[in-house]
């Protein structure tokens, strides 16, 4: 099975990249299942139901969130009727929506998708490792699930790497989001889990992590906020990770970074059209 994960979609530029590139990319990669992180899709902060539906129309099977999950208040409501929208699993009990869910591909394969927030330099939430462990135990790879994708939305590379090793052998792919820059450490861990510390953003890279440059530069140089952050609107790069799994075990056999369009050099696996 081939699974495509697309990193944080930033504002209108990122949404345009999804509509322009995702349908063709899914076909070219022969991806059986696609997950898109959409927590920055609405003006850089949160997601709306209309945007969620657009992503689904363009080829996303599931949309994950992060620390901006509720910045658009309507998400608290529509997530209850959108099982394909996954918020962090370590939110408190009673939070709307689900942090993990099992989905079925067109061919009948079962894919568990999980979203978890790191806690280092982030919100003081429940233990991410305990929350992930509970879900992995409840839906074991190779038994209840044919593939498992864990999106760890975290600030520190060390926490993301620790989560990768924690899930090694129990997940098909552990991929980091939130820091908006694609890392060069795409590989298969010792136990067979595909891993990348950060998928990178789907947004305009002529920016400061997706935001128009003037306000971040002003804050760094003068230490005085002068306005709101606004997403950059130039041509965006779609960034992500594609993993191919063993049909018997659900573990990774091949994994590669993906970058298409915009400022960054295009990167596709040499097995993309196989």
Question: Is the entire prediction scored with pTM above 0.95?
Answer: yes
Instruction: Give me the active site residues, please.
Output: 68
Q: What is the pLDDT of residues 72-120, one digit of tens each?
A: 999 999 999 999 999 999 999 999 999 999 999 999 999 999 999 999 9
Domains of the chain: 2-260 (3.60.21.10)
Strands (E), 32-71: 33-37, 62-64
Q: What is the pLDDT of residue 274?
A: 56
Q: What is the pLDDT of residues 35-84, one digit of tens each?
A: 999 999 999 999 999 999 999 999 999 999 999 999 999 999 999 999 99
User: Are the CB atoms for 122 and 156 separated by under 8 Å?
Assistant: no
Q: What is the pLDDT of residue 226?
A: 85
Q: What is the pLDDT of residue 271?
A: 84
Residue-averaged pLDDT of the chain = 97
């Amino acid at each position: 099975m081939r699974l495509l994960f697309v990193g944080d979609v930033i504002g209108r530029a990122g949404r345009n990249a999804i509509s322009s590139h995702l349908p063709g990319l899914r076909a070219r990669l022969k991806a059986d299942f696609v997950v898109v992180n959409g927590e920055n899709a609405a003006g850089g902060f949160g997601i709306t139901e209309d945007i969620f539906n657009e992503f689904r129309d363009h080829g996303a099977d599931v949309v994950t969130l992060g620390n901006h999950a509720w910045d658009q208040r309507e998400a608290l409501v529509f997530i209850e009727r959108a099982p394909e929208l996954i918020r962090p699993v370590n939110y408190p009990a009673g939070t709307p929506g689900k942090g993990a869910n099992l989905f079925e591909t067109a061919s009948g394969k079962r894919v568990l998708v999980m979203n978890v927030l790191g806690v280092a330099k982030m919100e003081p939430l429940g233990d991410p490792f305990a929350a992930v462990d509970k879900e992995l135990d409840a839906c074991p790879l190779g038994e209840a699930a044919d593939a498992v994708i864990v999106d760890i939305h975290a600030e520190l590379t060390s926490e993301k790497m620790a989560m990768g090793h924690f899930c090694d052998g129990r997940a098909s792919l552990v991929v980091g989001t939130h820091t908006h820059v694609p890392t060069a450490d795409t590989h298969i861990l010792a136990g067979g889990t595909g891993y990348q510390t950060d998928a990178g953003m789907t947004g305009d890279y002529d920016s400061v992590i997706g935001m128009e440059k003037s306000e971040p530069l002003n804050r760094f140089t003068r230490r005085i906020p002068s306005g709101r952050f606004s997403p950059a609107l130039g041509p965006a790069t779609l960034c992500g990770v594609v993993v191919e799994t063993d049909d018997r075990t659900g573990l990774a056999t091949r994994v590669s970074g993906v970058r298409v369009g915009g400022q960054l050099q295009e990167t596709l696996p040499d097995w993309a059209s196989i």
